[in-house]
Amino acid sequence: MTRNDTLFDRAQRSIPAGVNSPVRAFRSVGGTPRFLVRGAGCHVWDADGTRYIDYVGSWGPAIVGHAEPTVVRAVQARAADGLSFGAPTELEVEMAETLIRRLPSLELVRLVSSGTEATMSALRVARGYTGRSKIVKFEGCYHGHGDSLLVKAGSGALTFGQPSSAGVPPAIANETVVLPYNDAEALRALFAADGGAIAAVIVEPIAGNMNLVRPVPGFLETLRELCDAHGSVLIFDEVMTGFRVHPQGVQGLTGVTPDLTTLGKVIGGGMPVGAFGGKRAIMNVVAPLGPVYQAGTLSGNPVAVAAGLATLALTEAPGFYERLAARTRAFCDGLVSAARDAGVEFCADSVGGMFGLYFSPRVPTSYAEVMQGDKERFHRFFHAMLDAGVYLAPSAYEAGFVSAAHDDDALAATLAAARVAFAAARG
Ligand code: KE4
């Protein structure tokens, strides 16, 4: 029994499936989850002392690497003055001003403690602002575990084959319309039939929870056009893509401007910070300004915000995003070359510091195409890479992440491991 095995047995006696978030349980890839004890730069260590090159990065937050010294010092200094007050602090004003400065579509923004809180709050704001109830989401997109959004969701829900969760009352689920991602015509038809009843369309503007799936040309523009025509609120869920794929997220990359944006992950740098915001006219409905209630004991928590601000400051270094995108692209190109040499059908895609790996003939543009990928091959590849000291997301339906701390040595070691792992994956 390894330390990981012992800890996993112990954890399952007190925590459902031994984990505090389902995707961590390794249920789809099999085997024992690694109990991580330390991170530094692009590396993490597990309870048995094994070191891994980390391409999960806490599912996106670790964009500057683990235990980055300036981030750690910011947290230590802030914590020394008290952890939380439940009162306004200057630091959360600085965070709000930073987000507004970096995302021009934001006029007012509220901080929360997770991406789930951000998306559930944004939906309530859209419903309160429009007076309508119906929302539209897309199959394979994951927006956290709010009731209205656990309908044909991605990420862990998709990984375990329960895209629509038990426990969501039909009365709530029936207010959520799910369409195929990238299917603009299906959206046109829905709005033609029911546009006046639609409060909001929420979308991952680059999907990362059914693996990485880009919007096809015109898809986001169509969302914008139809929401304008029917008075519906367009919500870009940039919890994963915000400050990850571009200095201004997908809205900066594409020029398509949402009415509301949800954020998380990078803006907390590994500490619990989320945010929702957008047009002042819409955000004016948020309590206590307006009638839409939303609250949080630890919202804007100064220690968490200190980590986020220090992380965001590091991403503003000259050339940060260019270097991150180039490194991520080199990672993908190297894997494609290794797979070709091993005679394995494989492709990869990346946008900024986020990537997708597919055991498929071509990069998928829809949920249906993602589902045609060779999941068993991925599982064999995942474990061969894990055994070689490379920690990938334990699911064929997750995007992966490169950080500013992934250097040439880490990339070379990863590609050396991949040459062996693809041969193992071939089966
Ligand atoms: P959190 O509540 O997990 O902070 O954020 C929910 C969320 C919302 N929107 C998007 C686009 C997201 O990707 C997420 C969370 N992402 C997953 C990873 N695919 C978190 C990992 C997990 O659930 O443990």
Ligand 1 center–CA 319 separation, angstroms: 27
Query: How far is residue 420's CA from residue 281's CA, in Å, rounded to a whole number?
Result: 56
Q: Are strands 198-203 and 134-138 parallel, antiparallel or unpaired?
A: parallel
Any ligand 1 atom below 6 A from CB of 264:
yes
Ligand 1 center–CA 336 separation, angstroms: 27
The CA angle 155-159-164, to the nearest 5 degrees, is: 75
The percentage of the chain sitting over the pLDDT mark of 90, rounded to a whole number, equals 96
> Looking at the structure, do residues 210 and 356 belong to the same domain, yes or no?
no
User: What is the extent of the structural domain holding 324?
Assistant: 3-67+318-426
Ligand 1 center–CA 275 separation, angstroms: 13
> Looking at the structure, do residues 278 and 415 belong to the same domain, yes or no?
no
- Of ligand 1's listed atoms, the one at least distance from the Cα of 209 is 19
pLDDT score for 5: 98
Provide mean pLDDT across the span 149-153. Answer: 87
142 noted as active-site residue = yes
Task: Give the CA distances from residue 338 to residues 199, 329, 380, 388, 395, in Å, rounded to whole numbers and listed in that order.
Answer: 47, 14, 15, 15, 21
Any ligand 1 atom below 6 A from CB of 156:
yes
Residue ending a domain, among 291, 315, 339, is 315
> Looking at the structure, do residues 133 and 90 belong to the same domain, yes or no?
yes
> Looking at the structure, do residues 219 and 271 belong to the same domain, yes or no?
yes
367 noted as active-site residue = no
Global confidence as pTM:
0.98
Tens-place pLDDT, residues 281-320: 999 999 999 999 999 999 999 999 999 999 999 999 999 9
- Of ligand 1's listed atoms, the one at least distance from the Cα of 154 is 19
Residue ending a domain, among 315, 336, 359, is 315
- Of ligand 1's listed atoms, the one at least distance from the Cα of 238 is 11
> Looking at the structure, do residues 154 and 254 belong to the same domain, yes or no?
yes
Instruction: Say which CATH number the domain at 140 has.
Output: 3.40.640.10
Count other C-beta atoms under 10 Å from residue 49's C-beta. 9
> Looking at the structure, do residues 141 and 88 belong to the same domain, yes or no?
yes
Choose, from 55, 259, 265, 397, the residue flagged as catalytic.
Answer: 265
> Looking at the structure, do residues 224 and 328 belong to the same domain, yes or no?
no
pLDDT at residue 164 is higher than 90: no
Residue ending a domain, among 267, 295, 315, is 315
> Looking at the structure, do residues 62 and 73 belong to the same domain, yes or no?
no
pLDDT score for 158: 79
Tens-place pLDDT, residues 352-399: 999 999 999 999 999 999 999 999 999 999 999 999 999 999 999 999
Ligand 1, pocket-test mutation among 114, 142, 203, most atoms within 8 A of CB: 142
pLDDT at residue 107 is higher than 90: yes
> Looking at the structure, do residues 8 and 100 belong to the same domain, yes or no?
no
Residue ID of nearest Cα to ligand 1 atom 6:
144
- Of ligand 1's listed atoms, the one at least distance from the Cα of 115 is 5
> Looking at the structure, do residues 28 and 76 belong to the same domain, yes or no?
no
183 noted as active-site residue = no
Instruction: Say which CATH number the domain at 349 has.
Output: 3.90.1150.10
Tens-place pLDDT, residues 22-76: 999 999 999 999 999 999 999 999 999 999 999 999 999 999 999 999 999 999 9
Nearest to 399 by CA among 355, 349, 362: 355
> Looking at the structure, do residues 58 and 110 belong to the same domain, yes or no?
no
Provide mean pLDDT across the span 228-254. Answer: 98
Per-residue b/e over 53-87, b at no fewer than 16 CB within 10 Å?
bbbbbbbbbbbbbbebeebeebbeebeeeeeeeee
pLDDT band at 422 (very low <50, low <70, confident <90, very high): very high
> Looking at the structure, do residues 349 and 417 belong to the same domain, yes or no?
yes
pLDDT band at 21 (very low <50, low <70, confident <90, very high): very high
Count of domains for the chain:
2
Reading the block at residue 96, the tokens are 């709000």
Count other C-beta atoms under 10 Å from residue 23's C-beta. 24
